[in-house]
Amino acid sequence: MNIKDKSSFLVRIRQNDKDSEFQAEVQVNNWNARADVQFTSHDAIVNGKPMPSNATKIVVKDSYGREILEVSRFSDHFECILIGNLTVKVTREYVEVTPQDGVRNVLRGLCGDFDGTPKYDLTGPRDCLYTDGDLFLWSWAYNDGQGCDSNDFKKHHNDVNDFQKTCPHRPNNTQYFDLNSVDEKSGYVCYQIVYPVKRVGPGWCASKIPVQVCTNECVSRERHFTLESAGCWPDRLVPKDVKDAERVGYLTHPTKEHAPFFSTIASYRDSKCVKK
């Protein structure tokens, strides 16, 4: 599981064939943070080091000292909280993934997109829409060589590759927007779709995901604070439109420049906008 289009994090889950034990791995890989957590219901390895038996929580921070994830030990399970994104809980009986509001609908993987409907849950890694459940499962399979049948894996992935050549695709913009944000008295359209821009450390980041915010002529009756997946540039490489947009806080279009790094930025989404 990750975020659509060059995510800064990845969640992988497997079940051991020998004892049916669930295993999970959470990776963070962006321009100012690296982390790898592998855990089961009874132990955890954080950045290559086993979690001490007397520790109940380990916090991992980025290069600016900000917390990016925490691993917690409970009496019968482990949890990994990827701050601002989701929580992964592993017990002996099941794995539970709980996303935060900011990443609902932009998630991709076996658990669906968490947008509240099953319509696009069977979206594959290349935004192909599947109707064959088994083929969908194989599209997300990863062969790490630990107990996997290489021949079986290759056969099924050949089927996946063939399907991807002509597959129907998920619509480009299925992000939920409250398009009823129109002032009921005047009929004035109170929302706009923007791409948030933030200065982060020695550079700038621009969201890859559009968000709905109220126009200057309107106010929000409901605001949800989120973290958005963003492309980032150091000072010497930042595109002019991104640098200029930092003054107002957003772009009105996605930037065309390729970002060398990826991270998450704090933002918000408005709903129930009304005219001032």
Band of pLDDT at residue 179, cut at 50, 70 and 90: very low
- CA 70 to chain CA mean position, Å: 17
Alpha-carbon distance of 67 to 60, in angstroms, equals 6
Min mean pLDDT across 68-77, 101-110, 157-166 is at 101-110
Q: Is the pLDDT of residue 22 over 70?
A: yes
Give the per-residue pLDDT at 194.
84
Alpha-carbon distance of 271 to 50, in angstroms, equals 44
Helix (H, G, I), strand (E, B) or coil at 122: coil
Give the per-residue pLDDT at 184.
47
pLDDT in tens, 214-244: 888 888 888 888 778 888 888 888 988 888 8
Helices (H), 213-262: 240-245
Band of pLDDT at residue 182, cut at 50, 70 and 90: very low
Band of pLDDT at residue 265, cut at 50, 70 and 90: confident
pLDDT in tens, 78-123: 999 988 778 999 998 899 998 876 677 678 888 888 877 888 899 9
Q: Which residue has the higher pLDDT, 182 or 261?
A: 261
Q: Is the pLDDT of residue 146 over 60?
A: no
Give the per-residue pLDDT at 4.
59
Q: Is the pLDDT of residue 77 over 70?
A: yes
Alpha-carbon distance of 211 to 209, in angstroms, equals 7
Q: Is the pLDDT of residue 175 over 50?
A: no
162 Cβ neighbours under 8 A, 6+ residues apart: none
Q: How many CA atoms lie within 13 A of 136 on its CB side?
A: 17
CA distances from 276 to 186, 221, 250 (A): 11, 11, 22
Give the per-residue pLDDT at 160.
92
For the chain, domain boundaries: 1-99, 100-175, 191-275
Give the per-residue pLDDT at 177.
42
Give the per-residue pLDDT at 83.
80
Band of pLDDT at residue 154, cut at 50, 70 and 90: confident
CA distances from 24 to 21, 67, 82, 218 (A): 10, 20, 13, 45
Report strand pairing: 261-275 vs 218-234: antiparallel
Q: Is the pLDDT of residue 50 over 90?
A: yes
Q: Round the average pLDDT of the chain to a whole number and report it.
A: 81
For 163, list phi and psi in degrees, rounded to 5. -65, -40
Give the per-residue pLDDT at 178.
45
9-23, 39-53, 81-95, range with greatest mean pLDDT: 39-53
Q: Is the pLDDT of residue 76 over 50?
A: yes
